[in-house]
Copies of this chain bind each other. A is one copy, B any other.
Amino acid sequence: MIDEIGKQMYMLCARLFPICRSITGEGFRQSLDILREYLPELQIHHVPSGTKVFDWEVPLEWNIRDAYIIDPDGNKLCDFKENNLHIVGYSVPVDLDLSLAELQPHLYSLPNQPTAIPYITSYYKARWGFCLPHELREKLKEGTYHVFIDSDLAPGNLSYGELILPGEQREEIFFSTYLCHPSMANNELSGPVLATFLARWLKTIDARRFSYRIIIIPETIGSITYLSKNLAVMKQNIIAGFNLTCVGDEMDYSYLSSRFGDTLADKVALHVLKHTHPEFKPYTFMDRGSDERQYCSPGVDLPVCSMMRSKYHEYPEYHTSLDDLSFISPAGLSGSFAIYQKAIQCLEANEKLKGTVLCEPQLGKRGLYPTISTKDTAKLVKNMMNILAYADGTRTSLELAELIGVPLWEILPTINTLIREGLLEVID
């Protein structure tokens, strides 16, 4: 089941990969439309350029049709149609001849990763530029180059997708992910694709206790825009949230905390990772770099953290053409799907529990305890006794699991048995 989902997720990544996306523009909307094929309920919203969003302003919409350099020998270099990373994001249109010396300030490459095309953007200052492998740049010779960029920056919209899945309660679990990167895979197609498949799975759950808010936005300006329109309801409803990013490769799991690492989201993430992948790498908010920067900012204060595979900034392929479809895998994606499923399961099951009798109940007469005493008690019985020993009405099931030192999902059947037998009750 998970493997099948991993394959489907990977295929969706592959389909989205070639599209040139940025924080605005047709590529972003085209990608949202593909996700809607998987998730028809996804609502698309448009916010016009120039809209004030807190300290920011929605920028002009950027669209690009073609871009390349013709070298002195007439060869076409940095062809946008071959790889959309060749163009600096938000490049203004140009069509001119210049010398190599004049061209150089507009070129970007990585001396330490000579085969990689870097990913560069300039959203808020008018620039143009090309990105190319350093080994290619070193071979450029003197002469006249022709540069051509057929782009436009014009009033338009910042677009994003939003899905609200109502549950029994007003309280929400929040997932945010961003779709504004051009042809890179782990960072960032893995996040939007995971969000899509988690939403499809959530729809199949019969009795969702919580509501779910899932948004697919451009990074930074998108989360700021979304917050500026929804802050009050988000602060009122969201009890735990996750920024989905870098969830596609097969390396170690990572955890990035919320501002103080003390929210329900952090507790659930740590519980899941500790019990499923104890070797996971913990990062603090000092290592942040995505939309938790906005969600956890002072006055916003949403409980948002991240469970990732290889964290942004921490793998060499990050923000280069090497972060391609070979860097991610079905197994990598399905591993991430599994841990987020577990996190959701923990959140849905996280209720305050209270025993109904004083002292230990007589489990034996209910067939829940061996009727003959021996030197050992089975683990199941031990868990049952431990749940009863700590369920004093002040602790949730997640806190009980943490106290006992077992995964919540392992003791859920026992908790349900005890509720059914009338020995435990859920406290509001």
**Chain A interface secondary structure, helix, strand, loop or mixed?**
loop
CA A358 to CA B55, docked complex, whole Å: 7
CA A198 to CA B396, docked complex, whole Å: 41
Q: Which of A259, A318, A371 has the most CB of B within 10 A?
A: A371
CA A404 to CA B286, docked complex, whole Å: 7
Does the CB pair A362–B124 fall under 8 Å?
Answer: yes
Q: Which of A227, A231, A286 has the most CB of B within 10 A?
A: A286
Q: Which of A300, A361, A372 has the most CB of B within 10 A?
A: A372
Q: Is A365 an interface residue (CB 8 A)?
A: yes
Does the CB pair A358–B300 fall under 8 Å?
Answer: yes
Interface residues on chain A, number (Cβ under 8 Å): 58
Does the CB pair B299–A371 fall under 8 Å?
Answer: no
CA A375 to CA B111, docked complex, whole Å: 13
Give the residue name and chain of the B residue nearest to A395 (CB): B298
Q: Is A121 an interface residue (CB 8 A)?
A: yes
Does the CB pair B389–A298 fall under 8 Å?
Answer: yes
Does the CB pair B300–A405 fall under 8 Å?
Answer: no
Which of A5-13, A199-207, A289-297 is near enough to bind chain B?
A289-297
Does the CB pair B124–A358 fall under 8 Å?
Answer: no
Q: Given the known inter-chain contacts A124-B364, A318-B375, please indicate yes or no for A358 contacting B390, CB distance below 8 A.
A: no
Residues of B within 8 A of A375 (CB): 118, 313, 318-319
Q: Given the known inter-chain contacts A125-B364, A372-B122, A389-B296, please indicate yes or no for A358 contacting B227, CB distance below 8 A.
A: yes
Min distance, Cβ A347 to any Cβ of chain B, angstroms: 24
Q: Is A280 an interface residue (CB 8 A)?
A: no
Residues A139-163 near B (CB distance < 8 A): none
Residues of B within 8 A of A118 (CB): 374-375
Does the CB pair A56–B372 fall under 8 Å?
Answer: no
Min distance, Cβ A53 to any Cβ of chain B, angstroms: 8
Does the CB pair B55–A359 fall under 8 Å?
Answer: yes
Apart from A227-B359, A301-B392: 8 A-B pairs, beta carbons within 8 A: A55-B359, A124-B364, A124-B365, A285-B389, A286-B404, A293-B385, A297-B389, A300-B359
